[in-house]
Structure 1
Amino acid sequence: MAMKSILDHKIISSRYFFPRPEPIAEPFWVDCGEHSLACWYQKSFADAFTLIHFHGNGEVVADYCDDFALEVQKLGLNCFLAEYRGYGLSEGQPALSGMLDDVPHIIEATGQRLDKLIVFGRSVGSLYALQAINVFPDIAGCIIESGIADLLERIMLRVNPEEIQVSYTELSQAVARDFNHHQKFEMYKKPVLIMHSQYDGLVDVTHGQRLFEWANEPKEIHIFERGDHNSVMYYNYEQYFSLIKQFMKNLER
C-alpha cells in the first residue's frame, strides 16, 4: 500500500511509535478496510456520554482496561479505548498520517450520536482526538492530556529530513497539511479541557498552553504541579478524574 504521506515513512514510524503485542479480554474490533483494530468498549449506560480515549505512543489499550476504565465507569460514562495499527492485537503498521484515516471508523463504530461523544487524547493520542473533532465538529467535548501542539518540533527531535530524502520545507508542509492543530481547534466550538504537567520532560508544558490558546471558549486548562509526562495521572489521580467529572457535568447543563 502506498504511503499516505512522507510522515508515514518507516524511519519516522520506527522512531515515533513503540507498539507492543498485548492481549485484552473481549476486544471490540473496528474494521478500517485493509486492517482491523482491537479496541475495547465498555457500554454500561444506555443514555450516557461515551468517552473515546486515544493513548500515548508507548502504551496500549490493555494499560487502560483496569483502573482508567473503572474510574470512567464511576463517572457514569461509557468507555471506548481506541487502539492503533500494530498495537496490542491490532493489524497493520503504525503510520502518523495514515492513522488519521482510522479515526472516522473508530467514531462511527461506537454507534453513538456525536453529541453523546467525548474524545480524549493523551500525548500522541492528541493527534487523533484533534482529528476526530476536525472531521466531526459536533462531538460534544474534547479533553487533551499532555498533548502535542507542534508535531514538526517532535519529529525533528528524532528524524533528520535527509534520512527520508526530503527537505525541511517538504517535511514542514506535510505536517502543516495533516496536523495543523491551530486550524483544527479554530473550527471546533464545543467545550475543551487541557491538562498538562508543569514538569513534563517529553512534551513541554508550552504545548498544552498553545493548545489552550488555540481552543475556542468554553475552555479550561489545568497545569499540574506534580508528576511528569508518564505519571501525571497517577500523581494527581483524584484531581485528574475530578476535572473530568466536572467537565462532564458542564456538558450536561
Structure 2
Amino acid sequence: MNSGHPFDHPLVSARYFFPRRDDCPCDLVVDRGDAALACRRRIVDPARRTVVFFHGNGEVVGDYVPDFEDMLLELGVNVVLAEYRGYGRSTGTPRMAAMLDDVVALAEALRLPPARVIAYGRSVGSIYALEWAARVGAAGLVLESGIADPLERVLLRAAPHELGVTPAELRAAAAERFDHRAKLARHRGATLILHARRDHLVDVSHAERLHAWASAPRRLELFARGDHNSVMAVNA
C-alpha cells in the first residue's frame, strides 16, 4: 500500500533505508495492518519517565541491546526501542512518510503520559522523534546526529522526476509532512541536540538549524571528537 506521498516512493525506500533482520527479543508488537512493528520495552518503574528511542536507517533495535539499553536503565528510566517496518523482527517495507503515522500508533499502544516521555532520535530516527514530540507530546526531545531538512536527504538519493513529481510538488509534499521547524515550534518540552562537528554524513549545519528553531529550554552540544555514527561512543 502506497500513501501517495513521494517520500513513500519505492526508490526512496530502496535508497534511503537499509533494513536487516535481527532476532533480538521484542515484547511489544504494533499492528499497522500492512506491517507489524516489533518493538522492545523495558520497565524500571511505571511511574518514572520513559525514553522512546528511534535508531538510524542502517541499524536495528538489537544493535542497542544490551549496552545502550542498560545504560538508560541504570539511569532509572524506562526504555522503549522503536523498530521500523522491515527492520529486525518487523514485517513490511520501510516507507518514510507512512512511518510518521507509525509513531502515533506506537504512542497509542504505549499510552504514556506525554509529561513522562523523552523522545530520542538518532540520525534518521530524529525525524520520528520529532514527530512524536510534535504530534504526541513529550517532556524532552533528544536529537543525536539529527536532520533539519529531510528533503535535502531525499534529494541526495532521488531526483523529483524519478519520483514522478516536479521540484515544486516535491517541496510542497515535504513542507506538508516534514517541516521540522514547524514541528519544533509545537514541541513545548526541553530539547537537547548532540552532533559531531566533523559529521561527514549529516553536516553540523543541521544541528545548528535545529537548535535555532527549538524553543527554550534548549541546549546544543557540538563534539570535537567522533563522527556521525560515533558521537556517543567516543564522548559518553
Do they superpose with TM above 0.5?
yes
Which residue does the alignment assign to 1:153? 152
Amino acid corresponding to residue 217 of structure 1 in structure 2 = A
Structure 1: where are the runs of 5+ without partners? 238-253
Question: CA contact under 8 A between 1:28 and 1:39: conserved in structure 2?
Answer: yes
Which residue does the alignment assign to 1:216? 215
Instruction: Please give the residue correspondences for 1:73-222 in structure 2 after superposition, counting only pairs within 5 Å.
Output: 73-137=73-137, 139-222=138-221
Measure how far apart 1:29 and its partner are: 1.0
Measure how far apart 1:165 and its partner are: 2.1
Amino acid corresponding to residue 126 of structure 2 in structure 1 = S
Amino acid corresponding to residue 150 of structure 1 in structure 2 = D
Q: What do the CA deviations read for 1:74-120 (whole angstroms, capped 9, x no partner)?
A: 11000000000000110111011011110111112223211111100
- Matches of 2:180 and 2:49, distance apart in 1: 25
Which residue does the alignment assign to 1:42? 42
- Matches of 2:108 and 2:119, distance apart in 1: 13
Which residue does the alignment assign to 2:31? 31
Measure how far apart 1:219 and its partner are: 0.6
Question: CA contact under 8 A between 2:26 and 2:39: conserved in structure 1?
Answer: no
- Matches of 1:64 and 1:108, distance apart in 2: 23
Amino acid corresponding to residue 111 of structure 1 in structure 2 = R
Under a length normalisation based on structure 2, what TM-score does the superposition of the two structures give? 0.97
Matched residue of 1:144: which SS? strand
* % identical equivalent positions: 45
Distance 1:2 1:157, change over 3 A: closer
Measure how far apart 1:33 and its partner are: 3.1
Under a length normalisation based on structure 1, what TM-score does the superposition of the two structures give? 0.90
Amino acid corresponding to residue 7 of structure 1 in structure 2 = F
- Report the more deviating stretch, 33-42 or 123-132: 33-42
Matched length: 236
Question: CA contact under 8 A between 1:122 and 1:145: conserved in structure 2?
Answer: yes
Amino acid corresponding to residue 2 of structure 1 in structure 2 = N
Question: CA contact under 8 A between 1:19 and 1:58: conserved in structure 2?
Answer: yes
Structure 2: where are the runs of 5+ without partners? none
- Matches of 2:2 and 2:157, distance apart in 1: 23
- Matches of 2:98 and 2:2, distance apart in 1: 10
Amino acid corresponding to residue 173 of structure 1 in structure 2 = A
Measure how far apart 1:25 and its partner are: 1.9
Two-structure CA RMSD over aligned residues (Å): 1.1
Question: CA contact under 8 A between 2:139 and 2:188: conserved in structure 1?
Answer: no
Question: CA contact under 8 A between 1:49 and 1:118: conserved in structure 2?
Answer: yes
Question: CA contact under 8 A between 2:19 and 2:58: conserved in structure 1?
Answer: yes
- Matches of 1:96 and 1:26, distance apart in 2: 22
Matched residue of 1:119: which SS? strand
Matched residue of 2:90: which SS? coil
Q: What do the CA deviations read for 1:120-167 (whole angstroms, capped 9, x no partner)?
A: 011000111111111123x21111100000111111111111212211
Matched residue of 1:135: which SS? helix
